[in-house]
Amino acid sequence: MNNIQKLAEIPFNKLPKTLMKRILFPNIGKIEVTHKNQSKLYITTMAFVNNYAPSIKFYNDHLEFQRKIVADQQTPLVAIYDKDQKLIEKIDTGAIAHHTDILQRILKVNNQINPSNPGLVIDLKSVEGAQLVKEEENLKNQQ
């Protein structure tokens, strides 16, 4: 059973808040978040992990999401790898003000890897988001 089928079995109002945004990164193979514990610089990074990691893991079966604590690391980093595990970019997230900016940077990297297969962030609470999911399910049922 794939994640779309799992999601279809859950009543919409019972979905965890972290799965209300469907985040798709089709060109990324791994996201690795590293930071030092107890650092003021990693608050934004932790907000990103708490708000978006469950959705990224749930909706991207091919993608590996890792979080590591590195004691001697000065600033938090998000490393992005392609599907061949080649490092594409390291983002210093200590200077980023808001966790949604980290998500947008990763989305931008995904789209640079293969512009013809862009990443998406779909808000399932919106009418447009619900319609996109319904259209995708209809296409899969026709195949």
The CATH number of whichever domain residue 80 belongs to comes to 3.40.30.10
Residue 131 belongs to some domain of the structure: yes
Residue 10 belongs to some domain of the structure: no
Listing DSSP states for 33-102 in one string gives: EEE-TT-GGGHHHHHHHHHHHHHHHHH-TT-EEEEEE-TT-SS-EEEEEETT--EEEEEEGGG-S-HHHH
- Residue 133: is its pLDDT beyond 80? no
Give the per-residue pLDDT at 6. Answer: 61
Residue 26 belongs to some domain of the structure: yes
Residue 110 belongs to some domain of the structure: yes
Q: Show the tokens assigned to 25.
A: 């990164």
Q: What is the DSSP letter of 140?
A: H
Quick: pLDDT tens for 31-65: 999 988 766 778 888 889 989 999 999 889 999 99
Residue 9 belongs to some domain of the structure: no
In this structure, the strands spanning 120-123 and 21-24 are: antiparallel
Residue 38 belongs to some domain of the structure: yes
Could you give the number of structural domains in the chain?
A: 1
- Residue 75: is its pLDDT beyond 70? yes
Query: Domain span at residue 107?
Result: 21-142
Amino acid occupying residue 31: I
**Which residues are CB-neighbours of 50 under 8 A, at least 6 positions away?**
18
For helices 99-113 and 43-59, the axis angle rounded to 10 degrees is 50
- Residue 16: is its pLDDT beyond 90? no
Instruction: Over range 104-133, report the average pLDDT.
Output: 84
Residue 115 belongs to some domain of the structure: yes
- Residue 124: is its pLDDT beyond 80? no
Residue 14 belongs to some domain of the structure: no
Q: For all residues of the chain together, what is the average pLDDT?
A: 83
